[in-house]
Structure 1
């Protein structure tokens, strides 16, 4: 959170905004967990829960953005306060998009659930990536709650692990499809799922970058990962 202000009501506004963002983050975490369970168990009764949750996320995004605009108009914030409000708006957008990716995973899994060939494709890397993406998102939200820019910077570099898992799955999938062309349709569905998981990691990374921006006043979205530590330390 930004520093304390002379106006206690301004502090209350910012605290409430942070709380609502973290509530949205909690719902997104639940969405990912449900989507992963659909992927692991092919339990189609869970798909509608994912879709309902995604609609709730859309409403939360609109409401929080409205709150941000109202605070800017009423308080005319500057410096770190303004960066915080801009970061909240960017974070809720990324959280809503994570919800979109969870919906995509659930809907694609529903498409392949009834096909006997679906289990012939080894999706070990996708499952591992799902767990990594959920962990990174939790860490990003925790970094936001504590404004831990050092921990946030570590998240940005750790996202590379998810990218590596995606590339490994791609190579294995190509080999599988060449050996058994009849599974191409399902293979493409799994490719979409793998890409959705990769995107979840990307969105978690964007949230972490917002934390660095709030605390340090530095936009690190396009800073090479090997130079990120220097930007965070300010050296």
Structure 2
């Protein structure tokens, strides 16, 4: 009876942590969406809000890390339970870094529009990579909520597309700067934003990898993309 009671308490505490992690995920999703909106329309007030909201995300990271540490000390989980807690801690770190990247986008957008340096349609340059990365993040959080390993594998495979889009943007920005030096400032700002978006895609991929670690007990970090692609299709 005591063992059953202790196990139930552990499950409740872990579920409370997971719920807060998903809340944190929703916060950084909103941050990312609002940061992109800043970059698109130049809303300075919204940019300030995105940067201020990053503090709330940072505080939640500290609280969740503390909760996970206390859970390990009190309940001393083993095997799959310990794997779940450790993966959750890593997901929390990736979410905090996504918030940092969103704040970076907002900061760059604010600077760009305050200087009035927009010399081309900078948002169109990142439109596709933004949409694909936002979808990756949303799907990664959904996979984490459901511990869906199959969806997680598909998300990992999509990261190659985001990387390809970033390399295309890099080439385009170099061309702009070579053809017209007056675009250098705007092109560099756009490139910093594109890199931040690409990094958010990397963090979404990381979250998907941790889902597989929990759901299937496999650590697939650094696995060859071709092998993972075959598993995703299966």
- The TM-score by the shorter chain falls in which range? over 0.9
TM-score of the aligned structures, taking structure 1 as reference length: 0.93
> 1:231 & 1:85 partners in 2: Cα distance?
25
Report if aligned partners of 1:121, 1:187 keep a CA contact under 8 Å in 2: no
- Alignment of 1:103 onto 2:103: yes
Partner of 2:207: 207
Aligned equivalents of 1:173 and 1:30: distance in 2? 28
CA contact (8 A) 2:126 2:169 kept: yes
- Tell whether 2:140 aligns with 1:133: no
Q: RMSD between aligned alpha carbons?
A: 1.9
Q: Is the 8 A contact 2:156 2:208 kept in 1?
A: yes
Q: 1:36 to 1:232 in 2, by over 3 A?
A: closer
Deviation at 1:119, TM superposition (A): 3.9
For residues 5 and 136 of structure 1, what CA distance do their matches in structure 2 show? 38
Aligned length: 231
Structure 2 match to 1:29: 29
Q: In the alignment, does 2:227 pair up with 1:227?
A: yes
1:194 positional shift: 0.6
Is the partner of 2:64 in helix, strand or coil?
helix
**Which contiguous aligned blocks of 4+ residues in structure 1 show a shift greater than 4 angstroms?**
229-233
Question: Which stretch of structure 1 is more off in the superposition, 213-222 or 92-101?
Answer: 213-222
Q: 1:100, 1:161 → 2: CA distance?
A: 23
1:5 shift after superposition: 8.4
1:183 Cα deviation after fit = 1.9
Q: Does 1:191 align with 2:195?
A: no
Contact conserved, 2:108 with 2:189, CA < 8 A, in 1?
Answer: yes
The 3 A distance-change label for structure 1 pair 160 and 42 is: same
Contact in 2 for aligned 1:212/1:232 (Cα 8 Å):
no
In 2, Cα distance between equivalents of 1:230 and 1:165: 22
Counterpart CA distance in 2 for 1:123 and 1:49 is: 20
**2:149 maps to which residue?**
149
User: In 2, are the aligned partners of 1:38 and 1:46 still within 8 Å (CA)?
Assistant: yes
Whether contact under 8 Å (1:125, 1:168) holds in the other structure is no
Q: Could you list the runs of 5+ residues in structure 1 that have no partner in the other structure?
A: none
**Contact map agreement 1:148 1:211 (CA 8 A) in 2:** yes
CA contact (8 A) 1:10 1:75 kept: yes
What are the Cα deviations for residues 187-208 of structure 1, in whole angstroms up to 9, with x where unaligned? 1111111100000000000000
SS in structure 2 of the partner of residue 159 of structure 1? helix
Report the counterpart of residue 17 of structure 2 in structure 1: 17
Which sections of structure 2, spanning at least 5 residues, go unmatched?
none
The residue aligned with 2:75 is 75
Aligned to 1:177: 177
The offset of 1:16, in angstroms, is 0.3
